[in-house]
Amino acid sequence: MIKVDGMLMVGSAGANVGKTELACALLRKFAGGRDIVGIKVTTIKEKDGQCPRGGEGCGVCSSLDANFLITAETDASSDKDTSRLLSAGASRVLWLRVLKDHLAEGAEALLTVIGSNMDSICESNSFRHVVEPGLFLMVESRGLKTWKNSAQQVRDYADRIVVSDGSGFDLDFDQIELSNGEWRLRGQGAGGDMLSTLLEQATAIILAGGTSDRMGADKSMLPVGGRPLIEHIAEQLSGHFGRILVSANDVEKFDFLGLEVIPDKVSGQGPLMGIASALESSASDINFVVACDIPHVDLAFVEKMARDAATTGADIMMPITKREGHEPLFAVYRKSALKAINKVLSSGRRKISDAFALCRVNYIELGDARWLVNLNTAADYEEFQNKRSDQV
């Protein structure tokens, strides 16, 4: 992987979603007074195979006699993507046509041509497999149901999913900066990365209606840093979600949070009823459900789940861990899952997993991440507090 901090790469979820429009808008904002190279990368599967773009007669594949070809655009007046980049303010525009199996070779040659210290804006999905840019944005159109294969392969690399409505983008360009040869995204997330407006439009639901039998004490009120555990969780969510709900039957108990508390429609039915009742009260399509015994919330991972749910059409998106299996109480539930959940509850069943067969569930590998911890027992809580003390 070649690291190029001075490159901003723009990918797209599908055809005609606004990739070139975004690249041109960025050039118009940043190219004034700067030399920024515009780059378009076209990846070709086979020289003699079926054309991956443009249909018969486009000439992209047939004109490639070697593993790759780099050409410069000189005409700023046509409607070609490369011409539009030049017209938008790029100091020069290069077009890399490259065989898929020779992407790395083509990337090295291209970077030799433009120079290692040159700032650039590059259009491509596949280039992300061999180049790590300073910033990688991916564009999708509002309402797009399925991402094309090349986009799905690099989606998890995206620093920001930008939504186009045909006339503009849900991106504040002032949050992008180019400083000392490095593209950066300033904003709201942990570590300075910006979380997408997808979370701002979503609802977070904290499940706090359990009996805490294994803990022997109310888990939601366990002290963490001098505050109840549920307040510790709510603070991590605050400012990132459009709305935060607490699922619990004892409404007055959680008045101190200043959040709306949603009691179960029918008490004594377990967490599935809590999820159903909160989903019914939510006005959001995307809902992040977290149990009150999970002290750490990785917002970047939550955003990834929300993004995947939105782009794949999944009703439920949840992590799978090697230690615990699937995690239904740290997952994203779309409003569309409510029908299946209510059907399970009306049949007298209570297991969350019973709803899986009735709706579309996607899983995301969590790997060996240690931040996802459940405080089920007094021993779990003691171990968590000890580790927290060591970190402090």
pLDDT digits (tens, 9 = 90+) for 104-134: 999 999 999 998 789 999 999 999 999 999 9
pLDDT of 217 over the 70 cut: yes
Give me the chain's average pLDDT, please: 86
- On whether both 171 and 212 belong to a single domain, the answer is no
**Diameter of the chain measured on Cα atoms:** 74
Between 89 and 197, the more confident residue is 89
- On whether both 205 and 181 belong to a single domain, the answer is no
CA–CA gap between residue 365 and residue 368 (Å, rounded):
9
- On whether both 119 and 257 belong to a single domain, the answer is no
Total length of the chain: 392
Distances (CA, A) of 329 to 207, 230, 291, 319, 332: 8, 14, 5, 10, 9
Domain hosting residue 16, numbered range = 2-186
CATH number of the domain enclosing 15: 3.40.50
- On whether both 23 and 121 belong to a single domain, the answer is yes
Structural contact between residues 203 and 332, judged by C-beta atoms closer than 8 angstroms: no
- Whether 312 maps to a domain, the answer reads yes
What's the average model confidence in pLDDT over 86-91? 96
- Banded pLDDT at 185 (limits 50, 70, 90): confident
Burial of 325 (0-12, 13-18, 19+ CB in 10 A): exposed
Number of structural domains, the chain? 2
pTM above 0.95, yes or no: no
CA–CA gap between residue 285 and residue 336 (Å, rounded):
8
- On whether both 202 and 315 belong to a single domain, the answer is yes
User: Terminal CA-to-CA distance of the chain, rounded, Å?
Assistant: 36
Ramachandran region, residue 123 (left: φ > 0; alpha: ψ -120 to 50; beta: rest): beta
- Whether 193 maps to a domain, the answer reads no
- On whether both 291 and 339 belong to a single domain, the answer is yes
The strand pair at 223-224 and 176-179 is best described as unpaired
pLDDT digits (tens, 9 = 90+) for 284-324: 999 999 999 999 898 888 988 998 888 888 999 999 876 66
